[in-house]
Amino acid sequence: MGVCRIEDIAEAVACPAVAKHPRTNEVVVYGGAVHLSKESITAGVRSHYGYAALDNENGWRFLGENNYFQALSQEHGIIRMDSDFFSQV
């Protein structure tokens, strides 16, 4: 929507990974609509629920637009990740 840049985001939620699916590069996390939001955004042709980040000693590291929450249930989220970051989870 262009209302802010990634650098302007002031909140992140740490969600533990509970499953990894290497065939599809998907990570299931304990963090769903209850923890995040049921609100989605459409970026290009893809609708999603937010981007993934990894924590490090300096805070959070944005992983790029190819690493996003593609689906949410009440308690869990499915993050679609590229191969580079999938291996780090």
Give the pLDDT band (50/70/90) at residue 4: confident
CATH number at residue 24: 2.40.37.20
Question: Is 5 contained in some domain?
Answer: no
Number of domains comprising the chain: 1
pLDDT digits (tens, 9 = 90+) for 40-55: 888 777 889 988 988 8
Domain carrying residue 60? 13-86
pLDDT in tens, 12-49: 889 999 999 999 999 999 999 999 888 888 877 788 99
C-alpha separations of 12 from 22, 45, 52, 62 in Å: 25, 25, 9, 11
Q: Please indicate, yes or no, if residue 40 is contained in any of the structural domains.
A: yes
